Amino acid sequence: MPPQSALINVMEKAARKAARSLRRDFGEVENLQVSRKGPADFVSAADLKAEEVLREELERARPGYGFLLEEQGAIVGADKTHRWIVDPLDGTTNFLHGLAHFAISIALERDGALVAGLIFDPIKDEIFWGEKGKGAFVNGRRLRVTAREHLSEALIATGIPFMGQEGHERTLGEFAALTHRVAGIRRYGSASLDLAYVAAGRFDGFWEHGLQPWDIAAGIVLVREAGGLVGDIDGRQPYTFNLKNILATNEPLFTPLSRVLRGKEV
């Protein structure tokens, strides 16, 4: 593994510091202060606290960079060429229910292009990171997307719209089209970790609708640097934030998955 760059070191330091409070709060989940953002979409004191720590640490290390934060929104920096894209707690619903599957996600955008991403699972102590042109890694091990070529062998991850969101019938239709063609479908509730797992070869692919940049920015870097493709269900590549859905997988499975999800015969 090449040595981590100063940039990745900055991101890891910030993520590890923010994770301290998340671990403490996760151990006392029943005592968390929780407010409603919308139906089945929660924001906890843990989200807000972690986001503030991340902002402070990243701002200290790279003064002037802008931010796109899940809770605080867009913050324009003096340096208009760089922007951090941060999700302090991806998998909030899992967190609030005591399910140990959530992550901190940090990406860096330079001149509108994603150049680095880090996803930290604080419970499993897994640091996934990738940097443009340098590859993707987890805890010192190089990541590569799966080499599987047949849908019948593929394990695919997705997200399901929660209460109050649109797209339930569409998702059920996609499940119906795909479920008898693949080895399995999983819904774990953290898009950033789903993408990290695609990069690691644990999942063969991932698709979802209606995600925000902070959900997927770091994961996009990981999948690309692990040799995978990221686009949308209509087959458009490369992925851009104006697309309404995301499809990430290896090269052999990208078109077959796209066709099945669009209701086309393979």
Task: Look up the CATH number of domain 151-261.
Answer: 3.40.190.80
30-40 mean pLDDT: 70
Q: Tokens at residue 5, please?
A: 């760059």
pTM of the model: 0.95
Q: What is the pLDDT of residue 19?
A: 97
Helix (H) or strand (E) holding 239: none
Question: Are 1 and 137 within 8 A, CB to CB?
Answer: yes
Q: What is the pLDDT of residue 206?
A: 98
pLDDT > 60? residue 42: yes
Of 80, 58, 44, nearest in space to 13 by CA: 58
Half-sphere exposure of residue 212, counting CA atoms within 13 Å on the CB side? 14
Q: What is the pLDDT of residue 1?
A: 61
Task: Look up the CATH number of domain 6-142.
Answer: 3.30.540.10
Q: Which amino acid is at 183?
A: A
pLDDT > 90? residue 165: no
46/15: higher pLDDT: 15
Q: What is the pLDDT of residue 200?
A: 98
- Rounded Cα gap, residues 39 and 16, in angstroms: 30
The whole-chain average pLDDT of the chain stands at 93
Residue 244 burial (10 A CB sphere; 0-12, 13-18, 19+): exposed
Q: Give per-residue pLDDT as tens, 206-243.
A: 999 999 999 999 999 999 999 999 999 999 999 999 99
Could you tell me the residue ranges of all domains in the chain? 6-142, 151-261
Q: Give per-residue pLDDT as tens, 92-141.
A: 989 988 999 999 999 999 999 999 999 999 999 999 999 999 999 999 99
Q: How far is CA 150 from the centre of its chain?
A: 25
Q: Tokens at residue 88, please?
A: 């302090």
- Rounded Cα gap, residues 166 and 243, in angstroms: 16
Other beta carbons within 10 angstroms of residue 23's beta carbon come to 11
